[in-house]
Structures are given as structure tokens and as C-alpha cells.
Structure 1
């Protein structure tokens, strides 16, 4: 069985509670006026095992040891000791009484704190001043060993789940149930991934390299999709940074320079921590619905380095599918002036809704660090050297390796996961459930015995003005996620035009180190060809633009395309791709009565040609610094979208190539840059520019991409019609910003909806030569284009949009407004587009 869709597997198992820890307590802490006491200290007497109450006064604490007394304390209140008569004590109600003598000596803070004369903020400013001198940044070079353990658990388990028909025959999975020390929920561990790495860095050249030396997980062996999913889910972060990126969201760090405007800070205690005198500062958000944390941290009194910190995401934070998010970091004292991270722990509770009793999936990552070494210089080539991205030895380490490199012992439950999943994979019912989820997640139906996937199933039916009802069937070879080669194809039939269409492509990875790949493909199909400026190498691709089910206005400007292409790709350096290719295409209008590709041709008796035959050679460079890829096969997934992209393409059309019709050259540039704007959300900036040298017909010109569909399509203009502007020289700019609810969170009646405001502005300038206007006069006449407004060269065409995202956590709707060129034929002043997606 293949394991391509781990999230599907996570959502299939639920279980009930078998309490394994020796002492468990949960409850609420109140004051004499029945008001919750946040951040109260709860401790097992005679131990260092404890926790703090949350903002609602709620707490949960457990231990593998047996304790008889619980100690509850908070500044300004009398300390209370509560006898524990049972091993399990849930829903305790604890009332603290104000302590008279303490109140004379200590000021109890609540609500919004003053920014002036606040000792906690004075300490915070000293942290800012010294943060560049703390940790690894104070050394020229560094290296250390890292051990990472990621676990996924099903939580909130009760007897109704165990007895449900869904799990009949799989009851054995419930033998590993435990209870979370953070949330108090019962949970069942169902997946664990362990990774051991060696990390090297050089601050003088700003380079870092991580060598994975061991990887092991329960039941998924060397599946790079699962491993990549984990890396994408839990990005690395630094509490000293102003903003901490988690789940593609930018949280304001409690140590941020903008923290004074975001958090309330209270100096609550001072004590020795590992023989270092430290201050304890509690913090909590000033406003609701922002991406913030609450918690506390200990900071050293001389270096102002963080010794310990815990961060819990505010329950009102505008983030989907996550009910709890909790982070702990501990720093080790190397000497009097060096504090280095020792342990990093993050827990997240993934749920479909945030109700208290909702079931979900815990994701837990524990990272430990040791064997630090400094100022051991290595040559630049060490950091830049290409290595084989997949080494089978790394994924088949024996038990002796893990005994040496596992920096934290696995507990009984974690050890049991390996055995449980091996057994579960033999259960036929689980296989069937897994396969159903896999189809919904991937769009492909898997035939494992044939090593073939049928799909995508969502393209089976369609409709447009040329084909009428369209039926499509296709598939791909699939031996595993890291296949060195893949073949895919499709066949389609249109009932109106009574024509059969097909496509077939294959690609082969010849060398993993340099990503040397060759690919060939051919397609005979009906397509909307005016949806992008820079070319795509997806020979089999289609889009919403070819379906009038999802379009407004006239959608008959479709093209019959006969395309064959071959290319070779390689990466001489990481994330720097070089591509050479050649193609031959035949283009002809699919609806001659409403759309024309005709051009002047003196060699034809009629003086007009209606078909384009063109061979083309291409060379392109793509640079994506910072991109993280998943997998090592011929096809890879991209981990995130935070990297910039630079694409340069050169194309040469030559009449000597396969009896082609035109000579020309084309140069194009594409640049895209995502921008995190701190607590104000995220922007995306895109620039495209290009020029065609030579006289070419409409099918080879650059069309400013309109969008007549009701879907938001990347880098198109939603109020432009297809073929409204045609150019041979162009520049377009797109700028979009998502505030992630920053503005709506200030509006009381909108705050609870967690909506996200989105704004955008787009512009296009282009020109077309007189020679190309003359060459394409027959086509332009059919389109009804005014010779003076074929291209937006007189003034820049522009439009803007305002949108609302996160509607029901899934839907986004944009209203788009045209800024000028209102006199164009069928000009649309306003359009509405939308999209559906799962976003945190």
C-alpha cells in the first residue's frame, strides 16, 4: 500500500482512554469573586513538576509518579495545598483568597499594563539590545547535532468511538491511549518520525548546511512526502525574531521590538534557574483575534538571554483548524555569557472546529540539540557542494544507531506505535478506508497491482461552447512517490464537435544530483490559449478558461492545438534550473464563425492563412532561492511558497524547422516575490515583461491574460475579456496583500468571524507594431478590435480589487473593478471571482 496522503490516514482513527500515568489533575482556579485567575502556578508538592493556568483559569497536570498533594499559588494570594485523595482528579474548582501581607508588598497586575515605568518593559529593551550577541550569532562558525521527533496522535477519545462500526475489527489500536500533560485530553499515538542530523553554519558568509544522517518512522519508511509534510508543517523559528512563522502565519514574538504595542508585560518573579539568577516575565495580548501568544519567559539578569520560554497561541487568534498551539523552549548555559537552545517542543491540536469537546489530531515536535562546536572553519565549497538528496542508508539505520543518536528516550506509547501500525497495515478494512481518503485527497484512483492511477477524476466531465459536453479519462504510472520515471496520458471526447482528443507525456530522471531530466509529450486538444504570458512546460495542462460552466460572457474563443514538445532540464546548482527544449505546434481556430486566427499570407490563393505551423527552440533559466523541495524522484512537491522566483525565457522560431511559417525571437522575464509584512499580513508582488522580435500571427503574439471565469486565476486580469489586449511588447505588474484579519479584528461585530481582508492592484502596458497589426488584420476584424486600442500603449491599463477570505474557513470572494478603457467592446466594469482552499 502506498502512503501518499498522510493527513487522510490521520483522520481515520479514533479511540478511548486507558489512563497510564499515576497522577492526573485538572480544574479551574478562581478568586473570591469567582473570577478566573490566569497564570496561577500549580505544582505537585515535593516535586518540580508543575504547570500554569490558562487565561480562563483552566489547568491540567499529570505525572508518572504518585503524589498526594497539589500546591496552588499566585502573587497576591495565599498559597493553597489541596489533598489528592485519588490518582485521577478532574474538574477541580480551586478558590484562592487574597493574602493581606503579600498585597502590601506586591502589586497585582491585570488588564492592560502601562508602557511607562514598567520594569518588565525595561528588561525587554535590554533583551533587544543584546539579542545579536546571544546564541550562535556570536561565533564565526558553529556546528551541532540535532535530534527531531515528530508524533501525531488522535485525541478526545471516548467509548462511543471504540464501539463504532467504523473501527470494528481494529480495536487493537486503542491499546496505546494516554493523556496530554498540556490539554488533559486522552490521545492515541498513531505516527512517529525520528530524524538525526548534523548541522554546520558560517555566519561570515551566511551559509548553513544540514546533513540528515538517520531517519525512521512508523510504517512509512523512506516516504519523502510524509517527511516533507512534516518539514512544511513545522518550520524552524527563532524567538528572538520579531515575527515567528508557524503554519504559514506570522505570529508576533513575545520578544519582538513591536511587542510593546502587542502584548502586556508583567514582571512576576525572580529566582535561580540552573544556578543563574533570572527574571520571570508574564505576557498576554493587548487585543483579541491577532496572531499572538500568551505565557511567560525567564531571562538572565546579566546577559539578558532567554533561559526558558513558553508560548500558547491565544484562543481568539485568527488561525484555522488549530485549537491549541503550545511552544516550550529551553536554553542551556554553556558559560557565563553563552546561552544555547537545548530543547524545543511544540504541540498543536488540529480540529475541524474549536469546540471544547471536538475530536482532532495532535501534532507534536520535540527537537534536541547537543555537541556544539565553534569556530571550526570549513571552505565555502563545503556548503555549496551538491550531494545525492537520497541515501538509502539514512532510512535504514539499525537499533544501535538510534540508541546512540536518539537524544530522548521513547516512552512506552511511542515504542508501541511502530508495532501497532505494522499490524494495522494488514487489516483489509483499514486499507479500504485509506484508499477512499486517498482518492478524495489526490483526485486519483489507485490500482496498486497495476502500478497505475486513474484520474484526475475531477476532470472527467466538462462543457464549453465548442465541444459541448466533454468526457475525459486519463491516468499515470505510479510505483511510488519517488519514481525515477513517469508516464501519463488522457483521452477525451466532445459530443458537439464529435472529435476525439488525447495527450501523452513521459519524463525520466537520469541523475539525482544534478536533476538531469528528459521529457517528451504530445497533445491534440481544444484550449483557451490566452491565459498566461510566460510559457508553461505542462504539455497536458488545461484550465477553467476552457469551460463555460465557470465563465461569463463569450467563451467561444478557443483554439485547436496540436503540440509536440521535448526538453532537457538540469540543476547545476541548488534551486537553479536550466532548461533547453524544442516544440512544434499547429494552431487553428476551434470556432471559425466567432473566433479567427487568420493572417495575411501572399503565398495563398486567397491571400489569407487560417492555420499556424511553427517550430520553436527555447532556453530558460529559473532561480528559486530558499525553495524547499519534497522527494527525490522525477516529480517533486514544493514545501512552501515563501521563496522568490526569477524566470528568464528565450525562444527562437525558425522557418527551417519542420517547414515552419515564421522567423522570430522572443525574450521574457518573470519575477515573483512573497513579502511577510510582520503582523500586517503577507503580500505577493509579480512582474512580467517580454518582447517579440519579428512579425508573427495572433497565435504567437502575447495576449494580456483576461479572466472570464468565476475563479481567481493566478496572474490574470479579472475584468479583461479574452483577447481584449494583444501585444508584441508588454509589462504587467500584480500586487496583492492579505491582512490576515488585522483590520477586521478591530471591528467588534466582525471579530468573531475571523474573516481576512484582501486588496489588490494590477496594471498592464503593452504595444504592438504596425507590421503586426497589418499581418493580423483579418483576425482583429473578427475580434472587433479598434486599431487604436489593440494594445494598452496609450495609457497603462489598471484594475483593483477588494476581497474577503476565510469565509466559513474555506471560501474567498473578490470584487474586481476596472480602472480605465471603459469604451472597449463588451468592457466589464466589475467582476466577481472566488476560490476554495484549505488554509491555516
Structure 2
């Protein structure tokens, strides 16, 4: 088969590598840009005989290609006409009079009139392929004893056309969609109908789907910033790009009958979230015809060694250019060393069969197709041959057979399971996941050593029902605990779900303002392994929950619930007693309530269609409103109250400045309620930072029945540390935040809960009244953090801003946290 594969390095006459030099097959539009070390790899299914290399300020050079796999060392000489100028290889290229920027200005002027925006409506066919491959597999790996008897799988090893690395496919998923869209002013109505789907490989369970979501990112090259892996990268086609990239007009050629100009771009500064690559811009329409974008290796990005994006556009006529192909490759790896092993995640998308102005009413675009239709998953091979918009290559043609065989090999399955455990915390068995394994052992002052076992059913991402549960035993209190939950989706289109559960356990209540009735939830604050003080303020909870939820419109979820709970102190360290209407002291709260909630998550995208789904993106706001009515007297319920709560969370991406997250919580309880039913301001007495808590507050330091809270945090994503030479290579990230709360509590609730309030360690020595129990003056604290320490650890420094004279007040604290973030 005709094919050309070359690699090499581009240097100057002194042997110094030239980063971001252009390397291209002569008389073609197939090329690449060297990396920060001057290295490059280039391949094509065609046969080429000459290679061309160039860089601004240097003479262009043409070299012969003498064999299909060839290694080059290319030396460029400074251009004689530019010897009087100072050439800074990674510095700025002059803006004034730069023809590349003049071209981009025309692109910006016309971007609103290009593509789908030209039509009232549009329909097209979409083919999508997702694939995962092990890469950098060498003989030292394949010859290990663990693979004895598995030699057959290595016959499927091929070489990436992007990086030149060899790879072995382990998972593949193909889908065909019919897409319908309609333009309404600045908004777009879009409906996608899944027509066919097939997949195979290791990881039909939750393991692979943990990483798949990061391949389903939608992006628009004309936007100022492109969000990948939760971060904002400067788009080379966006207006802010002129302050981020050098642009060089490199070439011109006819592509698909359209005269196009080639612009090479590369970042001005290191350690920023940027790309390198080139683009072809069509004349007259001034739309991007083709573009490739490769994330700079110095970018502050974890666990991802390389990201490569391609977009090709189809010329329909002199005035219309539409998407034809998207390609994304991510190289996931523990290390950024070029030879280290990793996993390729690849997504290829093709668009075809365009039709325009076949406009339908708005209701049509809001209807969701039945993705559970059997015909979708049973399409025969003839269908796939006719409907694949890209033929499977050599290694992909045999991948289904190879992967189906591989799944039966116990040795390889064990290797895969280890990766799943690290990623999800679960051990996969047929139709069942055991775990989370990280919760197996725990310790606190009430239970002593705690041992827990549990699991969940898992048949696939489209499961209609799920059963999960656990049991635990405390060697200190000599008690068994348990939790069990069942969910069943009985209407697929409206996502009507019935759920029921029961939990009998001990818990650190007051670890969050917004009430959760999750029967399997357990706050990290309940663990004493990492506590900075006593872990004895735990509550004995018996919770039963029945609910119905529905999502009649995408991302608007309604839920009605019926909850019964029994609460009492789990230790003698404090009391949850209250005084009833007859003046008697009761140590246990029995409460039944009915609740209603609505959750709105605009622009949220999910993966899977079962009773539980995975979220693909994190750039959407969350609005949550709930109402609960305590049914005093029903099923021996002790209190009659009305509770309203509002939760709002909004991320703001500020381009290269990073990401700001704002959280607002409001709540009000009308009527009397015991301590366990009121809103405790969430404290944190552990060594670790717990989200949505106040880092310097003790447990139960403030109790409210009316509150307003706001949290603000900004992550600069290394913007500051990246400019400090001796810190640059550490890829540290700087975070600042402030949080505050105002609250009150009625005198009736203070009087009724006097036995409990007087027993709380945090209120000892304080006169109990409404102004001391609740933060009647705003309590606030602020923090600064160094994140991404060794890619896993974050250290927060907290300062208390008010209530400094309160007995036992923590005025300063240091807390850490671990996290797997890109």
C-alpha cells in the first residue's frame, strides 16, 4: 500500500532545535509543526518524493524522500535578507503589516455569516467513532511473562499517523446519527436521533466510560477560547489569539477547487494553555477550510501527554463551507516522557448528506428519539459498510474479533481490572461491581475500627434499573449498619424513575447546608482517620426514602419524595435532645416529611441513557429549589414545619485567566424543628478540605433556621506561577477564595433545643441565645491555595475574618486535599 512515514528534527546551523518550524510534503497541504524540541512526525497514505521545511527568518529547504520510512535531521540557515533583524524563535512576530493577521481580520468579520448560520434549518448525517488504544508498546513490554499465551493480540499493533507511536486497540464504539437543526435568532434548536450503534472491547462497564466523557467535548474554533479537560485554551482563530500566538503566512494552494492561504501559528510564551499548528483559509469566503491544533507540551495539563485536533470543512459552493470531519486524539499517560506508555483516546466524526431549509415546527426539535430501540444495536455488517463515512483501516477491520477474543483471556482482564479500580474504586464482575474499595476500612471515636463491604449491579450504561447496597460493622460500638437503594426507570422518553431505599448507620450531620436524602451517601467528615480532633459528634440515622422523578424536558428534573427518619446522638459526647410541648425531654427525633424539588442544569451534557448517567461537561450552572413539609403526627412524626432551600452554582471561564466558581445557598424553615432537622452551618474539623464547608468552623458552631451563604473561588490554572522561572516546570496552580454566611434562628427553636445546644462542645462557655447560636453578623473566612502539587495534592491556607473572640475559634488553618484533575 502506498504510504509515506517520516520523522526527524529541525535545527539551526549551531545545532539548536527550532521549535514550531513548518514541515510539509511538497506540492501538498499535508504538513505538521515541530514541537518545543524541534522534533516532528509526518505520515500520509500517499507516496511523496520531496519534503519541505521552513521557519520565519530562515531559508526554506527542500529535501528528497528516498524511502517510505525515513529519519531526517534538517538544518535551516538564516535568511540573508533578514540577517539585520533579531530572530527570537519563540518570541513575537511583528503584528503591524503582518499579512497573516490581515487575513484573520477578514475571518473575524465574516464568521457570523459562515456555516449553518446561513440557513433557516439544516439536516445532515453524522458518523462517530470512539476508540481507546494502548500506546508506546515495545518488545520489553510484549515479552513480559504476564503476556505468555497472549501473543496473538500484538499482531494488531499499528502506528499512529499523528505521533508515530505504535498502539494496540482495546475499545471501539461506532454510532450513526440523523441530525436536525433550526436557527432562531442567536439560538439553535438541534435534535440528534441515534440510528445505529455497536461497540466491543475491554471496558463495556464503568471503567472506560470514566474517560470517554472527555472525548465528547464540543468546541467551535471561531470562539475566543476552546474548553478541553475543564480548562480554557486560547483559540488560534479567536481575536485574543493575536496576543497569544505568532502568525506566519506560509503558503497558498488550491484545495477542492478553492484558492486557500496557509497560516502557521505557535505560542508566544511557554506554560500557557495554547496550541501549535497551521490552518488553511479559503479566499472570498474567508472561512477556515482545514485546521490542525496540537496542545503545546509545556501547557499546564495533567495526565495528558498530547492533545491533537483536526477539523476539515467541505466547500459546497463559492459562498458555503460546512463541517466535513472532526478528529481528536488525547494521549493519557502518567508521565510526559515521550517513551512512556499510555492510552490513546480518539474520536473521529464525519458529516454528510446535508439538506437545507426543510424547516419543521419547534416541537419536532424538542422530541427525543427512542435510544432503547433494539434495531439501533442490531444493525448488520452490510449496514455498517454502507453507512460508515470512514472505512475502517487495517487494524480496525480485525479489532472486533480481536477484542471479543481478548475479553476471554483472564490475564489481560486482570490488568484491565487494576486500572478500573484506580479510576472508579470498583472491581468489575459480570453484571456486578464490588466497592467502593477505598471505603472498606475506616475509623472514628464512636464505631472504632469500621469495616464495610458493598456493591452495585451494572449491566451497561443504558441500564433500566440499578440495585446497590452495603453493610458495615463497627468493632467499637459492636453494631452492624447497612444501606440499600433501588432505582427503576419505567418511562424512557420522560425519564420517569421510581426509587426507594433504607439506611441504618452513623453519620456526621451538618456537613452540608442543602439537605440530601441519599440513603447511600456518607460525608467524608464522618471519618476519624483524618480528623484534627475528636470524631465523636456522630448521629445515629435511620432513613427511609421513596421518590418519583421525571425529566420531561432535557436538564429539568422534578422529584417528589416521601422520607421517614429517626435521629439520635450516637455517643455521650453531645445530645440531640429537645423539650416537647408537654415539657418532657426527648432524646430521639422521629420525623416524616413529603418533599418536592426541581433541578435545572442548562447546557449540561451526559453520556449514557440509563437510570444513572455520567456528565460529560462541567461548564453549566446548577439551579436547585426544594420544599419539604414536616407531617407532624403522621407515623408518630414529631414536628410540623415548612422548609425551603435554594442552591445555585455557576462556573465562569475567564479565558487564560482561569476559572471562577460561585455558589449561593439560601434557606428558611417555618415552624419548630429539632437540632437534626435545622440547618447547621457546615464546619470542618478534619485535616482535609471538604467542598461546601467552612474550613475554620467547628462542627455545630452555628445553627440556623434561616440562612444565606455564598462561596467564591478562582483558580488561575498556573497563570502566575507559570511566569516564575524556577517554579515554571512544577506546573503549580494558584487558587484564592472567600466564603461567608449570615443566619438567624427563632427564639422558639433555641428554647426547645436548649438541652442539645447546651451540650455542644463548640457552644460551651457561650450564653445561648439567638445571636450566639446563629451567625447574626456575617461569618466569613478566606483562603489561598497551592494546587497541583505532584499533580495530585492541594494545600489550602485559611484565615478567619470574623467571630475571632469566640471560645475555641480557629483563626488560621492549613488543610490538604487529593484530587485527580487534568
Q: TM-score range by the shorter chain?
A: over 0.9
Q: Does 1:488 align with 2:468?
A: yes
Q: 1:721 aligns with which of 698, 712, 715?
A: 698
Structure 1 segments unaligned to the other structure (5+ residues): 1-19
The equivalent residue for 1:543 is 523
Q: Contact 1:764/1:792 (CA < 8 Å) preserved in 2? A: no
State the 1:688 CA deviation. 0.8
2: CA distance between counterparts of 1:287 and 1:616?
58
Structure 1 residues 68-97: Cα deviation after superposition (integer angstroms, max 9, x where no partner)? 55454567655545445544323x222234
Structure 1 residues 311-353: Cα deviation after superposition (integer angstroms, max 9, x where no partner)? 1211111111222222222222222222212222222222211
Distance 1:177 1:580, change over 3 A: same
Structure 1 residues 246-280: Cα deviation after superposition (integer angstroms, max 9, x where no partner)? 22221100111211211122223334333333332
Q: Does 1:308 align with 2:309?
A: no
Distance 1:821 1:132, change over 3 A: same
The equivalent residue for 2:181 is 201
Q: Contact 2:216/2:616 (CA < 8 Å) preserved in 1? A: no
Of the structure 1 ranges 78-87 and 539-548, higher mean CA displacement relative to structure 2 is found in: 78-87
Q: Contact 2:213/2:615 (CA < 8 Å) preserved in 1? A: no
The two structures have a TM-score, normalised by structure 2, of 0.93
Q: Does 1:630 align with 2:607?
A: yes
Q: Does 1:472 align with 2:449?
A: no
The equivalent residue for 2:104 is 124
Q: Contact 2:32/2:277 (CA < 8 Å) preserved in 1? A: no
Structure 1 residues 601-660: Cα deviation after superposition (integer angstroms, max 9, x where no partner)? 3536xx322211111111111111222233333322222322211111111112221122
Distance 1:304 1:483, change over 3 A: closer
Q: Contact 1:234/1:247 (CA < 8 Å) preserved in 2? A: no
Distance 1:166 1:372, change over 3 A: same
State the 1:216 CA deviation. 2.1
Of the structure 1 ranges 823-832 and 723-732, higher mean CA displacement relative to structure 2 is found in: 823-832
Q: Does 1:33 align with 2:20?
A: no
The equivalent residue for 1:587 is 567
The equivalent residue for 1:10 is none
2: CA distance between counterparts of 1:76 and 1:627?
47
Q: Contact 2:215/2:346 (CA < 8 Å) preserved in 1? A: no
Of the structure 1 ranges 745-754 and 37-46, higher mean CA displacement relative to structure 2 is found in: 37-46
State the 1:28 CA deviation. 1.6
1: CA distance between counterparts of 2:434 and 2:133?
31
Distance 1:660 1:72, change over 3 A: closer
The equivalent residue for 1:368 is 350
SS in 2 for 1:567: strand
Q: 1:319 aligns with which of 301, 312, 316?
A: 301
Distance 1:656 1:48, change over 3 A: closer
Q: Contact 1:345/1:365 (CA < 8 Å) preserved in 2? A: yes
Q: Contact 1:298/1:309 (CA < 8 Å) preserved in 2? A: yes
The size of the alignment, in residue pairs, is 814
Q: Contact 2:198/2:377 (CA < 8 Å) preserved in 1? A: yes
The equivalent residue for 1:344 is 326
State the 1:442 CA deviation. 3.3
The equivalent residue for 1:656 is 633
SS in 2 for 1:174: helix
2: CA distance between counterparts of 1:476 and 1:191?
23
Q: Contact 2:225/2:238 (CA < 8 Å) preserved in 1? A: yes
* Pairing of 1:666-705 with structure 2 (within 5 A): 666-705=643-682
Distance 1:338 1:769, change over 3 A: same
The equivalent residue for 2:806 is 824
* Pairing of 1:443-592 with structure 2 (within 5 A): 443-448=425-430, 451-592=431-572
Q: 2:135 aligns with which of 145, 155, 164?
A: 155
SS in 2 for 1:296: strand
Q: Contact 1:655/1:661 (CA < 8 Å) preserved in 2? A: yes
Of the structure 1 ranges 172-181 and 27-36, higher mean CA displacement relative to structure 2 is found in: 27-36
The equivalent residue for 2:43 is 62
State the 1:590 CA deviation. 1.5
* Pairing of 1:63-142 with structure 2 (within 5 A): 63-64=44-45, 69-72=50-53, 80-90=61-71, 92-97=72-77, 110=89, 111-142=91-122
Structure 1 residues 537-576: Cα deviation after superposition (integer angstroms, max 9, x where no partner)? 3112212212222212343221111222222212222222
The equivalent residue for 1:421 is 403
2: CA distance between counterparts of 1:296 and 1:529?
55
State the 1:98 CA deviation. 5.2
The equivalent residue for 1:165 is 145
The equivalent residue for 2:579 is 600
Structure 1 residues 498-544: Cα deviation after superposition (integer angstroms, max 9, x where no partner)? 33322233222222222222222222221111111212131122122
Q: 1:756 aligns with which of 733, 738, 748?
A: 733
State the 1:116 CA deviation. 2.7
Q: Contact 2:578/2:753 (CA < 8 Å) preserved in 1? A: yes
1: CA distance between counterparts of 2:255 and 2:556?
47
Q: Contact 2:451/2:473 (CA < 8 Å) preserved in 1? A: yes
Distance 1:147 1:822, change over 3 A: same
The equivalent residue for 1:766 is 743
Q: Contact 2:560/2:596 (CA < 8 Å) preserved in 1? A: yes
State the 1:151 CA deviation. 2.6
2: CA distance between counterparts of 1:669 and 1:79?
63
State the 1:370 CA deviation. 1.6
Q: Contact 1:676/1:683 (CA < 8 Å) preserved in 2? A: yes
State the 1:33 CA deviation. 3.3
2: CA distance between counterparts of 1:29 and 1:263?
20
Q: Contact 1:228/1:631 (CA < 8 Å) preserved in 2? A: no
The two structures have a TM-score, normalised by structure 1, of 0.91
Distance 1:112 1:521, change over 3 A: same
SS in 2 for 1:804: strand
Q: Contact 1:727/1:790 (CA < 8 Å) preserved in 2? A: no
1: CA distance between counterparts of 2:84 and 2:738?
58
SS in 1 for 2:239: coil
Q: Contact 1:351/1:361 (CA < 8 Å) preserved in 2? A: yes
2: CA distance between counterparts of 1:709 and 1:426?
45
Q: 1:291 aligns with which of 273, 276, 284?
A: 273
1: CA distance between counterparts of 2:17 and 2:417?
47
